[in-house]
Amino acid sequence: MTTSHYIAGRWVEGQGSDCISVNDPALGQPFAEFMAASVDQVDQAVAAARSALPAWKTTSASERAAYLRGFAEQLGQRREALITLQMRNNGKPRHEAEIDLDDAIATFTYYAELAEQLPSKNRDVPLAVPGFSARTRLEPVGVVGLIVPWNFPLVTSAWKLAPALAAGCTVVLKPSEVTPLIEQAYGQIADALRLPAGVLNIVNGKAETGAALSSHNGLDKLSFTGSNSVGSQVMRSASAQCRPVTLELGGKSAIVVFDDCDVDQAVEWIVAGITWNAGQMCSATSRLLVQDGIADALLPRLQAALNNLRVGNPLTEEIDMGPLTSQAQWLKVASYFATAREEGLQCLVGGKALDRDGWFVSPTLYADVPKGSRLWTEEIFGPVLCARRFASEEQAIAEANDSRFGLVATVCSADLERAERVADALEVGHVWINSVQAVFVETSWGGTKGSGIGRELGPRGLSAYQSVKHVTRCLG
Protein backbone atom coordinates (compact mmCIF):
# COMPACT_ATOMS: atom_id res chain seq x y z
CA MET A 1 0.00 0.00 0.00
CA THR A 2 1.88 3.08 -1.14
CA THR A 3 -0.42 4.90 -3.52
CA SER A 4 -3.20 5.48 -1.06
CA HIS A 5 -4.59 8.91 -1.83
CA TYR A 6 -6.97 9.58 -4.67
CA ILE A 7 -6.51 13.09 -6.03
CA ALA A 8 -7.78 14.44 -9.36
CA GLY A 9 -8.55 10.92 -10.58
CA ARG A 10 -5.08 9.53 -9.80
CA TRP A 11 -3.69 7.34 -7.03
CA VAL A 12 -0.66 8.99 -5.44
CA GLU A 13 1.84 8.31 -2.68
CA GLY A 14 1.49 10.26 0.54
CA GLN A 15 4.02 13.05 1.03
CA GLY A 16 3.12 13.86 4.62
CA SER A 17 5.31 13.19 7.63
CA ASP A 18 2.98 10.77 9.49
CA CYS A 19 3.17 7.04 8.87
CA ILE A 20 -0.24 5.43 9.08
CA SER A 21 -0.31 1.92 10.52
CA VAL A 22 -3.34 -0.20 9.74
CA ASN A 23 -3.97 -2.73 12.51
CA ASP A 24 -5.74 -6.00 13.10
CA PRO A 25 -7.27 -5.32 16.54
CA ALA A 26 -7.86 -9.02 17.27
CA LEU A 27 -4.08 -9.54 17.18
CA GLY A 28 -3.00 -6.04 18.15
CA GLN A 29 -0.66 -6.02 15.16
CA PRO A 30 -0.26 -3.92 12.01
CA PHE A 31 -0.89 -5.44 8.59
CA ALA A 32 -0.29 -2.41 6.34
CA GLU A 33 1.26 1.01 6.48
CA PHE A 34 1.64 4.07 4.28
CA MET A 35 2.46 7.75 4.47
CA ALA A 36 -0.25 10.32 5.16
CA ALA A 37 -1.14 13.03 2.67
CA SER A 38 0.74 16.29 3.10
CA VAL A 39 -0.89 19.68 3.54
CA ASP A 40 0.07 20.39 -0.10
CA GLN A 41 -1.76 17.27 -1.20
CA VAL A 42 -4.87 18.38 0.69
CA ASP A 43 -4.55 21.63 -1.27
CA GLN A 44 -4.30 19.68 -4.52
CA ALA A 45 -7.38 17.63 -3.64
CA VAL A 46 -9.43 20.75 -2.89
CA ALA A 47 -8.19 22.36 -6.12
CA ALA A 48 -9.15 19.25 -8.09
CA ALA A 49 -12.63 19.28 -6.56
CA ARG A 50 -12.95 22.99 -7.39
CA SER A 51 -11.99 22.54 -11.03
CA ALA A 52 -14.33 19.55 -11.41
CA LEU A 53 -17.30 21.46 -9.95
CA PRO A 54 -18.53 23.51 -12.95
CA ALA A 55 -18.92 20.46 -15.18
CA TRP A 56 -20.23 18.14 -12.46
CA LYS A 57 -22.89 20.50 -11.18
CA THR A 58 -24.31 20.90 -14.67
CA THR A 59 -24.55 17.16 -15.39
CA SER A 60 -28.14 16.05 -15.51
CA ALA A 61 -29.58 14.62 -12.32
CA SER A 62 -30.21 11.34 -14.13
CA GLU A 63 -26.53 11.17 -15.16
CA ARG A 64 -25.49 11.60 -11.53
CA ALA A 65 -28.08 9.01 -10.50
CA ALA A 66 -26.51 6.55 -12.94
CA TYR A 67 -23.12 7.02 -11.26
CA LEU A 68 -24.70 6.47 -7.84
CA ARG A 69 -26.33 3.25 -9.03
CA GLY A 70 -22.89 2.30 -10.31
CA PHE A 71 -21.46 2.82 -6.81
CA ALA A 72 -24.17 0.56 -5.35
CA GLU A 73 -23.49 -2.14 -7.92
CA GLN A 74 -19.71 -1.97 -7.58
CA LEU A 75 -19.92 -2.17 -3.78
CA GLY A 76 -21.89 -5.38 -4.29
CA GLN A 77 -19.18 -6.72 -6.61
CA ARG A 78 -16.55 -6.11 -3.90
CA ARG A 79 -18.74 -7.72 -1.25
CA GLU A 80 -16.44 -10.42 0.12
CA ALA A 81 -13.31 -8.24 0.10
CA LEU A 82 -15.06 -5.40 1.92
CA ILE A 83 -16.65 -7.66 4.50
CA THR A 84 -13.31 -9.33 5.23
CA LEU A 85 -11.50 -6.01 5.46
CA GLN A 86 -14.03 -4.67 7.97
CA MET A 87 -13.67 -7.85 10.03
CA ARG A 88 -9.91 -7.57 9.93
CA ASN A 89 -9.48 -3.84 10.46
CA ASN A 90 -12.53 -3.02 12.62
CA GLY A 91 -12.88 -6.37 14.39
CA LYS A 92 -16.54 -6.57 13.35
CA PRO A 93 -18.37 -9.90 13.47
CA ARG A 94 -19.23 -11.08 9.93
CA HIS A 95 -22.98 -10.41 10.18
CA GLU A 96 -22.31 -6.84 11.29
CA ALA A 97 -19.84 -6.26 8.47
CA GLU A 98 -22.47 -7.57 6.04
CA ILE A 99 -25.09 -5.19 7.39
CA ASP A 100 -22.70 -2.24 7.00
CA LEU A 101 -22.08 -3.12 3.36
CA ASP A 102 -25.81 -3.50 2.68
CA ASP A 103 -26.45 -0.16 4.36
CA ALA A 104 -23.88 1.56 2.11
CA ILE A 105 -25.44 -0.04 -0.98
CA ALA A 106 -28.95 1.03 0.12
CA THR A 107 -27.71 4.58 0.67
CA PHE A 108 -26.31 4.95 -2.87
CA THR A 109 -29.47 3.41 -4.34
CA TYR A 110 -31.74 5.70 -2.32
CA TYR A 111 -29.89 8.89 -3.29
CA ALA A 112 -29.88 7.78 -6.94
CA GLU A 113 -33.69 7.73 -6.67
CA LEU A 114 -33.77 11.17 -5.02
CA ALA A 115 -31.42 12.55 -7.68
CA GLU A 116 -33.82 11.34 -10.37
CA GLN A 117 -36.62 13.28 -8.69
CA LEU A 118 -34.59 16.50 -8.50
CA PRO A 119 -35.84 18.21 -11.69
CA SER A 120 -39.42 18.20 -10.37
CA LYS A 121 -38.24 19.96 -7.21
CA ASN A 122 -37.22 23.02 -9.24
CA ARG A 123 -40.71 24.48 -9.26
CA ASP A 124 -42.70 27.57 -9.87
CA VAL A 125 -43.75 29.24 -6.63
CA PRO A 126 -47.36 30.52 -6.56
CA LEU A 127 -47.40 34.20 -5.47
CA ALA A 128 -50.25 36.13 -3.86
CA VAL A 129 -49.11 39.34 -5.54
CA PRO A 130 -49.94 39.59 -9.27
CA GLY A 131 -47.42 40.73 -11.88
CA PHE A 132 -44.54 38.51 -10.82
CA SER A 133 -43.48 34.94 -11.31
CA ALA A 134 -41.05 33.07 -9.10
CA ARG A 135 -39.31 29.75 -9.30
CA THR A 136 -37.07 27.77 -6.96
CA ARG A 137 -33.73 26.30 -7.98
CA LEU A 138 -31.94 23.80 -5.76
CA GLU A 139 -28.23 24.15 -6.44
CA PRO A 140 -25.27 22.19 -5.12
CA VAL A 141 -23.53 23.83 -2.19
CA GLY A 142 -20.20 23.43 -4.04
CA VAL A 143 -16.95 21.85 -2.89
CA VAL A 144 -17.46 19.90 0.33
CA GLY A 145 -14.97 18.50 2.85
CA LEU A 146 -16.10 15.23 4.44
CA ILE A 147 -14.33 14.01 7.58
CA VAL A 148 -15.34 10.66 9.07
CA PRO A 149 -14.47 8.36 12.00
CA TRP A 150 -13.55 4.68 12.13
CA ASN A 151 -16.49 2.88 13.70
CA PHE A 152 -18.68 2.44 10.59
CA PRO A 153 -16.29 3.51 7.81
CA LEU A 154 -18.25 2.28 4.79
CA VAL A 155 -21.54 3.55 6.14
CA THR A 156 -20.56 6.96 7.49
CA SER A 157 -18.82 7.80 4.22
CA ALA A 158 -21.76 6.57 2.14
CA TRP A 159 -24.16 8.75 4.16
CA LYS A 160 -22.10 11.79 3.09
CA LEU A 161 -20.80 10.83 -0.36
CA ALA A 162 -24.08 9.67 -1.88
CA PRO A 163 -26.18 12.78 -1.12
CA ALA A 164 -23.27 15.14 -1.87
CA LEU A 165 -22.69 13.63 -5.32
CA ALA A 166 -26.45 13.42 -5.95
CA ALA A 167 -26.79 17.14 -5.23
CA GLY A 168 -23.98 17.96 -7.70
CA CYS A 169 -21.26 18.75 -5.16
CA THR A 170 -17.65 17.69 -5.58
CA VAL A 171 -15.93 16.32 -2.51
CA VAL A 172 -12.72 15.70 -0.61
CA LEU A 173 -13.14 12.77 1.78
CA LYS A 174 -10.82 12.23 4.75
CA PRO A 175 -11.31 8.78 6.26
CA SER A 176 -10.09 7.93 9.75
CA GLU A 177 -6.43 6.99 10.10
CA VAL A 178 -7.62 3.91 12.05
CA THR A 179 -9.53 2.39 9.09
CA PRO A 180 -8.09 4.07 5.99
CA LEU A 181 -8.21 1.13 3.60
CA ILE A 182 -11.96 0.57 3.59
CA GLU A 183 -12.93 3.82 1.93
CA GLN A 184 -10.31 3.31 -0.75
CA ALA A 185 -13.03 1.19 -2.33
CA TYR A 186 -14.86 4.41 -3.14
CA GLY A 187 -11.83 5.68 -5.10
CA GLN A 188 -11.48 2.35 -6.89
CA ILE A 189 -15.16 2.46 -7.78
CA ALA A 190 -14.80 6.05 -9.05
CA ASP A 191 -12.01 4.75 -11.31
CA ALA A 192 -14.06 1.80 -12.50
CA LEU A 193 -17.05 4.03 -13.30
CA ARG A 194 -14.86 6.67 -14.94
CA LEU A 195 -16.29 9.28 -12.63
CA PRO A 196 -14.88 12.59 -13.93
CA ALA A 197 -11.51 13.35 -12.31
CA GLY A 198 -11.72 15.54 -9.23
CA VAL A 199 -15.38 14.87 -8.42
CA LEU A 200 -14.33 12.53 -5.60
CA ASN A 201 -10.95 12.90 -3.90
CA ILE A 202 -9.68 10.93 -0.92
CA VAL A 203 -6.87 12.11 1.35
CA ASN A 204 -5.75 9.94 4.22
CA GLY A 205 -4.09 11.12 7.38
CA LYS A 206 -4.37 11.94 11.05
CA ALA A 207 -5.35 15.15 12.84
CA GLU A 208 -2.95 17.29 10.78
CA THR A 209 -4.59 16.21 7.53
CA GLY A 210 -8.07 16.68 8.99
CA ALA A 211 -7.19 20.15 10.26
CA ALA A 212 -5.66 21.09 6.88
CA LEU A 213 -8.94 20.11 5.22
CA SER A 214 -11.32 21.66 7.76
CA SER A 215 -9.46 24.99 7.76
CA HIS A 216 -9.04 25.09 3.96
CA ASN A 217 -10.48 28.26 2.47
CA GLY A 218 -11.36 26.50 -0.78
CA LEU A 219 -14.34 24.65 0.71
CA ASP A 220 -17.98 25.70 0.57
CA LYS A 221 -19.11 23.34 3.33
CA LEU A 222 -17.81 20.85 5.88
CA SER A 223 -19.55 17.73 7.03
CA PHE A 224 -17.94 16.06 10.03
CA THR A 225 -18.70 12.91 11.97
CA GLY A 226 -16.63 12.21 15.05
CA SER A 227 -15.97 13.20 18.64
CA ASN A 228 -17.23 16.35 20.32
CA SER A 229 -13.72 17.61 21.01
CA VAL A 230 -12.65 17.44 17.35
CA GLY A 231 -16.12 18.56 16.22
CA SER A 232 -15.76 21.80 18.14
CA GLN A 233 -12.37 22.43 16.46
CA VAL A 234 -13.94 21.78 13.07
CA MET A 235 -16.77 24.17 13.93
CA ARG A 236 -14.23 26.81 14.93
CA SER A 237 -12.52 26.44 11.53
CA ALA A 238 -15.88 26.72 9.80
CA SER A 239 -16.90 29.74 11.85
CA ALA A 240 -13.64 31.54 10.99
CA GLN A 241 -14.86 31.48 7.39
CA CYS A 242 -18.61 31.71 8.10
CA ARG A 243 -18.97 28.38 6.31
CA PRO A 244 -21.86 25.95 6.83
CA VAL A 245 -21.10 22.84 8.81
CA THR A 246 -22.89 19.59 9.59
CA LEU A 247 -21.73 17.87 12.78
CA GLU A 248 -22.59 14.31 13.78
CA LEU A 249 -21.09 13.92 17.24
CA GLY A 250 -21.21 11.71 20.29
CA GLY A 251 -23.97 10.36 22.47
CA LYS A 252 -24.80 8.89 25.86
CA SER A 253 -28.16 7.47 25.02
CA ALA A 254 -30.82 5.99 27.25
CA ILE A 255 -32.76 2.76 26.90
CA VAL A 256 -35.92 2.97 29.01
CA VAL A 257 -37.48 -0.36 30.02
CA PHE A 258 -40.96 -0.27 31.56
CA ASP A 259 -42.17 -3.07 33.82
CA ASP A 260 -44.78 -4.35 31.34
CA CYS A 261 -42.02 -5.66 29.02
CA ASP A 262 -41.26 -9.26 28.27
CA VAL A 263 -38.01 -9.68 30.21
CA ASP A 264 -36.20 -11.88 27.68
CA GLN A 265 -37.10 -9.60 24.79
CA ALA A 266 -35.96 -6.55 26.74
CA VAL A 267 -32.65 -8.26 27.57
CA GLU A 268 -32.08 -8.95 23.87
CA TRP A 269 -32.64 -5.28 22.96
CA ILE A 270 -30.46 -4.02 25.81
CA VAL A 271 -27.58 -6.35 24.90
CA ALA A 272 -27.70 -5.43 21.21
CA GLY A 273 -27.79 -1.72 22.05
CA ILE A 274 -24.52 -1.89 23.96
CA THR A 275 -22.51 -4.72 22.36
CA TRP A 276 -23.14 -4.20 18.64
CA ASN A 277 -19.78 -3.08 17.15
CA ALA A 278 -18.36 -3.73 20.65
CA GLY A 279 -20.31 -0.73 21.87
CA GLN A 280 -18.38 1.61 19.56
CA MET A 281 -21.51 3.35 18.33
CA CYS A 282 -22.42 6.99 18.68
CA SER A 283 -25.93 5.61 19.20
CA ALA A 284 -25.03 2.98 21.83
CA THR A 285 -27.78 2.89 24.43
CA SER A 286 -25.32 2.94 27.29
CA ARG A 287 -27.63 4.24 30.03
CA LEU A 288 -30.21 1.65 31.06
CA LEU A 289 -33.23 3.02 32.93
CA VAL A 290 -35.22 0.09 34.25
CA GLN A 291 -38.53 0.38 36.11
CA ASP A 292 -38.62 -0.84 39.72
CA GLY A 293 -41.21 -3.55 39.04
CA ILE A 294 -39.03 -5.40 36.54
CA ALA A 295 -35.49 -4.56 37.68
CA ASP A 296 -34.98 -7.52 40.02
CA ALA A 297 -36.06 -9.99 37.35
CA LEU A 298 -34.21 -8.28 34.52
CA LEU A 299 -30.78 -7.50 35.92
CA PRO A 300 -29.72 -11.12 36.67
CA ARG A 301 -30.83 -12.23 33.19
CA LEU A 302 -29.01 -9.31 31.63
CA GLN A 303 -25.92 -10.23 33.61
CA ALA A 304 -26.15 -13.82 32.35
CA ALA A 305 -26.71 -12.74 28.74
CA LEU A 306 -23.66 -10.45 28.77
CA ASN A 307 -21.60 -13.16 30.45
CA ASN A 308 -22.56 -15.67 27.77
CA LEU A 309 -21.52 -13.53 24.81
CA ARG A 310 -18.77 -15.09 22.73
CA VAL A 311 -15.98 -12.53 22.43
CA GLY A 312 -13.18 -13.26 19.98
CA ASN A 313 -11.45 -12.84 16.64
CA PRO A 314 -14.07 -12.54 13.88
CA LEU A 315 -11.72 -14.08 11.32
CA THR A 316 -11.04 -17.29 13.25
CA GLU A 317 -13.84 -17.80 15.79
CA GLU A 318 -17.64 -17.92 16.00
CA ILE A 319 -18.31 -14.71 17.89
CA ASP A 320 -20.97 -12.31 19.08
CA MET A 321 -18.58 -9.44 19.78
CA GLY A 322 -15.12 -8.60 18.49
CA PRO A 323 -12.28 -6.52 19.94
CA LEU A 324 -12.22 -2.75 20.23
CA THR A 325 -10.96 -1.30 16.99
CA SER A 326 -7.90 0.57 18.22
CA GLN A 327 -5.42 0.43 21.05
CA ALA A 328 -6.30 4.02 21.94
CA GLN A 329 -9.96 3.01 22.34
CA TRP A 330 -8.96 -0.02 24.42
CA LEU A 331 -6.88 2.18 26.75
CA LYS A 332 -9.75 4.66 27.01
CA VAL A 333 -12.28 1.97 27.96
CA ALA A 334 -9.79 0.48 30.46
CA SER A 335 -9.44 3.93 32.04
CA TYR A 336 -13.21 3.95 32.66
CA PHE A 337 -12.92 0.53 34.35
CA ALA A 338 -10.31 2.11 36.66
CA THR A 339 -12.61 5.07 37.34
CA ALA A 340 -15.47 2.68 38.15
CA ARG A 341 -13.25 0.91 40.69
CA GLU A 342 -12.21 4.26 42.22
CA GLU A 343 -15.85 5.33 42.41
CA GLY A 344 -16.77 1.99 44.00
CA LEU A 345 -19.40 1.16 41.36
CA GLN A 346 -21.21 -2.17 41.63
CA CYS A 347 -19.94 -4.27 38.73
CA LEU A 348 -22.32 -7.13 37.84
CA VAL A 349 -20.28 -8.41 34.92
CA GLY A 350 -16.99 -7.58 33.15
CA GLY A 351 -15.20 -4.42 34.15
CA LYS A 352 -11.88 -5.62 32.76
CA ALA A 353 -9.75 -6.14 29.67
CA LEU A 354 -9.50 -9.75 28.49
CA ASP A 355 -6.30 -11.59 29.24
CA ARG A 356 -5.34 -12.36 25.63
CA ASP A 357 -3.56 -10.70 22.72
CA GLY A 358 -5.49 -7.99 20.94
CA TRP A 359 -7.69 -5.18 22.18
CA PHE A 360 -10.47 -7.11 23.88
CA VAL A 361 -12.62 -6.10 26.83
CA SER A 362 -15.48 -7.89 28.56
CA PRO A 363 -19.04 -6.79 28.02
CA THR A 364 -19.67 -4.85 31.21
CA LEU A 365 -22.62 -3.95 33.43
CA TYR A 366 -22.61 -1.58 36.40
CA ALA A 367 -25.76 -1.38 38.52
CA ASP A 368 -27.28 1.49 40.51
CA VAL A 369 -24.77 3.94 39.07
CA PRO A 370 -25.05 7.38 40.72
CA LYS A 371 -26.19 10.20 38.41
CA GLY A 372 -22.99 12.11 39.09
CA SER A 373 -20.68 9.26 38.04
CA ARG A 374 -18.46 9.91 35.02
CA LEU A 375 -19.56 6.53 33.73
CA TRP A 376 -23.18 7.72 33.71
CA THR A 377 -22.49 11.06 32.03
CA GLU A 378 -19.55 10.55 29.61
CA GLU A 379 -19.43 8.74 26.28
CA ILE A 380 -17.22 5.66 26.81
CA PHE A 381 -17.54 4.11 23.32
CA GLY A 382 -17.21 0.52 24.38
CA PRO A 383 -19.45 -2.33 25.63
CA VAL A 384 -20.01 -0.70 29.02
CA LEU A 385 -23.58 -0.43 30.26
CA CYS A 386 -24.64 1.57 33.32
CA ALA A 387 -28.02 0.90 34.93
CA ARG A 388 -30.34 2.88 37.20
CA ARG A 389 -33.87 2.18 38.41
CA PHE A 390 -36.86 4.46 38.09
CA ALA A 391 -40.36 4.54 39.59
CA SER A 392 -42.54 6.64 37.27
CA GLU A 393 -42.77 7.61 33.61
CA GLU A 394 -42.01 11.23 34.54
CA GLN A 395 -38.85 10.18 36.36
CA ALA A 396 -37.71 8.06 33.41
CA ILE A 397 -38.16 10.96 30.97
CA ALA A 398 -36.38 13.40 33.29
CA GLU A 399 -33.40 11.07 33.82
CA ALA A 400 -33.16 10.16 30.12
CA ASN A 401 -33.15 13.84 29.19
CA ASP A 402 -30.62 14.75 31.87
CA SER A 403 -27.64 14.62 29.53
CA ARG A 404 -25.63 17.09 27.50
CA PHE A 405 -26.06 14.73 24.55
CA GLY A 406 -29.25 14.10 22.56
CA LEU A 407 -28.58 11.57 19.83
CA VAL A 408 -30.99 8.62 20.23
CA ALA A 409 -33.05 6.65 22.74
CA THR A 410 -34.90 3.35 22.94
CA VAL A 411 -38.24 2.86 24.69
CA CYS A 412 -39.41 -0.65 25.58
CA SER A 413 -43.02 -1.06 26.71
CA ALA A 414 -46.05 -3.19 25.92
CA ASP A 415 -48.18 -0.06 26.31
CA LEU A 416 -47.72 1.53 22.88
CA GLU A 417 -49.58 4.70 23.79
CA ARG A 418 -47.16 5.26 26.63
CA ALA A 419 -44.16 4.36 24.45
CA GLU A 420 -45.23 6.95 21.84
CA ARG A 421 -45.81 9.57 24.56
CA VAL A 422 -42.36 8.96 26.03
CA ALA A 423 -40.77 9.00 22.55
CA ASP A 424 -42.29 12.44 21.96
CA ALA A 425 -40.93 13.73 25.27
CA LEU A 426 -37.34 12.57 24.75
CA GLU A 427 -34.83 15.25 23.69
CA VAL A 428 -33.05 13.29 20.97
CA GLY A 429 -32.86 13.02 17.18
CA HIS A 430 -34.10 9.43 16.81
CA VAL A 431 -36.18 7.13 19.05
CA TRP A 432 -36.65 3.39 18.69
CA ILE A 433 -39.77 1.82 20.19
CA ASN A 434 -39.49 -1.89 20.91
CA SER A 435 -36.60 -2.25 18.48
CA VAL A 436 -32.94 -1.51 18.54
CA GLN A 437 -30.49 0.41 16.33
CA ALA A 438 -32.57 -0.02 13.17
CA VAL A 439 -31.66 2.85 10.85
CA PHE A 440 -33.50 3.21 7.56
CA VAL A 441 -32.11 5.37 4.80
CA GLU A 442 -35.52 7.05 4.25
CA THR A 443 -35.58 8.43 7.83
CA SER A 444 -33.04 10.85 9.28
CA TRP A 445 -29.95 10.73 11.42
CA GLY A 446 -28.48 13.32 13.73
CA GLY A 447 -28.71 14.69 17.22
CA THR A 448 -30.00 17.51 19.37
CA LYS A 449 -28.08 19.30 22.16
CA GLY A 450 -24.38 18.32 22.19
CA SER A 451 -24.84 15.51 19.66
CA GLY A 452 -24.53 17.74 16.65
CA ILE A 453 -25.95 20.08 14.07
CA GLY A 454 -27.96 19.03 11.03
CA ARG A 455 -29.31 15.74 9.76
CA GLU A 456 -28.11 13.00 7.45
CA LEU A 457 -30.15 10.40 5.55
CA GLY A 458 -33.60 10.90 4.04
CA PRO A 459 -34.48 14.00 2.05
CA ARG A 460 -32.81 16.19 4.69
CA GLY A 461 -29.54 14.41 4.00
CA LEU A 462 -29.75 15.68 0.43
CA SER A 463 -30.83 19.20 1.45
CA ALA A 464 -27.64 19.39 3.51
CA TYR A 465 -25.71 19.60 0.21
CA GLN A 466 -28.09 21.98 -1.57
CA SER A 467 -28.54 25.72 -1.50
CA VAL A 468 -31.85 27.32 -2.41
CA LYS A 469 -32.11 30.02 -5.06
CA HIS A 470 -35.27 31.84 -6.04
CA VAL A 471 -35.62 33.58 -9.36
CA THR A 472 -38.32 36.27 -9.26
CA ARG A 473 -39.37 37.92 -12.53
CA CYS A 474 -41.50 40.97 -13.12
CA LEU A 475 -44.05 40.01 -15.75
CA GLY A 476 -44.08 43.60 -16.92
Which residues lie near ligand NAD (CB under 6 A)?
147-151, 156, 174, 176-177, 206-207, 210-211, 214, 225-227, 230, 233-234, 248-251, 282, 379, 381, 407, 445, 447, 452
**3-state SS assignment for residue 469:** strand
DSSP 258: -
Which backbone phi and psi does 430 adopt, to 5 degrees?
A: -155, 130
- Cα–Cα distance, 280 to 395 (Å, whole number): 28
Nearer to ligand NAD, 236 or 356 (CB): 236
* DSSP tally for the chain: helices H, then strands E: 15, 21
Nearer to ligand NAD, 88 or 252 (CB): 252
- Minimum gap (Å) between residue 472 Cβ and ligand NAD: 38
List Cβ<8 Å contacts ≥24 apart for 193-198: 193/67, 193/70, 193/71, 193/74, 195/9, 195/67, 196/9, 196/52, 196/55, 196/56, 197/8, 197/9, 197/10, 197/48, 197/52, 198/8, 198/9, 198/48, 198/49, 198/50, 198/51, 198/52, 198/170
Residue of this chain nearest to ligand NAD (CB atom)? 210
How many C-beta neighbours within 10 Å does residue 219 have? Answer: 25
- Minimum gap (Å) between residue 141 Cβ and ligand NAD: 19
- Cα–Cα distance, 454 to 248 (Å, whole number): 8
- Minimum gap (Å) between residue 232 Cβ and ligand NAD: 10
Nearer to ligand NAD, 41 or 214 (CB): 214
135 CA to centre of own chain:
35
- Minimum gap (Å) between residue 444 Cβ and ligand NAD: 11
Q: What amino acid is encoded at 117 in this protein? A: Q
Q: What amino acid is encoded at 128 in this protein? A: A
Nearer to ligand NAD, 59 or 327 (CB): 327
Q: Which of 45, 36, 47 is nearest to 207 (CA)?
A: 36
Choose, from 96, 177, 248, 379, the residue flagged as catalytic: 248
Q: Which of 189, 155, 154, 224 is nearest to 6 (CA)?
A: 189
- Minimum gap (Å) between residue 45 Cβ and ligand NAD: 14
**3-state SS assignment for residue 317:** coil
How many C-beta neighbours within 10 Å does residue 304 have? Answer: 12
- Minimum gap (Å) between residue 125 Cβ and ligand NAD: 34
Pairing mode of beta strands 466-474, 430-433:
unpaired
Nearer to ligand NAD, 281 or 367 (CB): 281
- Cα–Cα distance, 346 to 366 (Å, whole number): 5
Instruction: Give catalytic status of residue 208 as yes or no.
Output: no
- Minimum gap (Å) between residue 44 Cβ and ligand NAD: 18
Would you say 383 and 354 are in contact if contact means Cβ atoms under 8 Å apart? no
- Minimum gap (Å) between residue 136 Cβ and ligand NAD: 29
Nearer to ligand NAD, 118 or 457 (CB): 457
- Cα–Cα distance, 272 to 276 (Å, whole number): 5
Residues marked active site are found at: 248
